[in-house]
Amino acid sequence: MTIKLHCFGESGHSYKAALALELSGLDWEPVKIDFFGGEGRTAQFREGLNVMGEAPVMIDGAVKLTQSGVIQDYISEKSGKFGGCDAAERREILRWILWDNHKLSSMAGVTRFLMNFLPEDKQPKEVIAFNQGRLAGTYAVLDAHLAGRDWIVGDGITNADLTCCGYLYYPEPFGFDRREFPNIDAWLTRLSDTPGWKAPYDLMPGSPADRA
């Protein structure tokens, strides 16, 4: 049975799940959510797919899961990949997934949305500046952790890498310049050089070009 991932290209949270599916070798296909048409706010979406109103949603037969970190956990169980090799690695991976949800992808996603998907005169400048200030500290934490390491946890790609990169390959500006963080820069290159890697708009349907 083909796993279906309800997602859209602009969503870095969806990208985390889509990239994990793609690199896992599991059979999957994306189903586009018309997020910019308001689909996430409809009663049909909230009641049928996700009360949280968020992407992604994964359907695998009778199993329906939301939250990219939960979907990654399921992919790891099913494929045997990216979940770490023991309890200590599993917890270290979860640590970075939680940190990413709290400090990195959450802030980066909102800031990118405000700067690129709202009209210029609706952009809350003080909020954007505040978020960018917090994100600067966040990037520095990841960059410091990656000093002397190839991957965030252990000796290979894990869900820690596949969550933290969620918004870092997008072309739209939100204040992140990977050249300022050499360890992050090298890690992103390492990941994108991995066979099977694809950029967000090559992996999922929907992109800003659709609305141009």
Which stretches of the chain bind its own copies, using CB under 8 A? 46, 51-53, 65-70, 73-74, 77, 87, 91, 94-95, 97-99, 101-103, 105-106, 124-127, 130, 141, 144-145
Residue 71 CB neighbours (<10 A) = 25
Least distance CB 78 / its own copies (angstroms): 11
Spatial separation of the C-alpha atoms in residues 41 and 97, rounded to whole Å: 26
Q: Which is nearer to its own copies, 106 or 207 (CB)?
A: 106
Q: How many CA atoms lie within 13 A of 65 on its CB side?
A: 18
146 versus 191: smaller Cβ distance to its own copies: 146
What is the CB neighbour count within 10 angstroms for residue 119?
6
Nearest-approach distance from CB 161 to its own copies, in angstroms: 16
Q: Are strands 63-66 and 57-60 parallel, antiparallel or unpaired?
A: antiparallel
Question: What 8-state DSSP symbol labels residue 144?
Answer: H
Q: Based on CB atoms, which residue is closest to its own copies, 70 or 171? A: 70
Nearest approach, Cβ of 100 to its own copies (angstroms)?
9
**Residue with smaller CB distance to its own copies, 4 or 64:** 64
- Closest to 23 measured CA to CA, from 167, 205, 190, 157: 157
CB of 104 to its own copies, least distance (A): 10
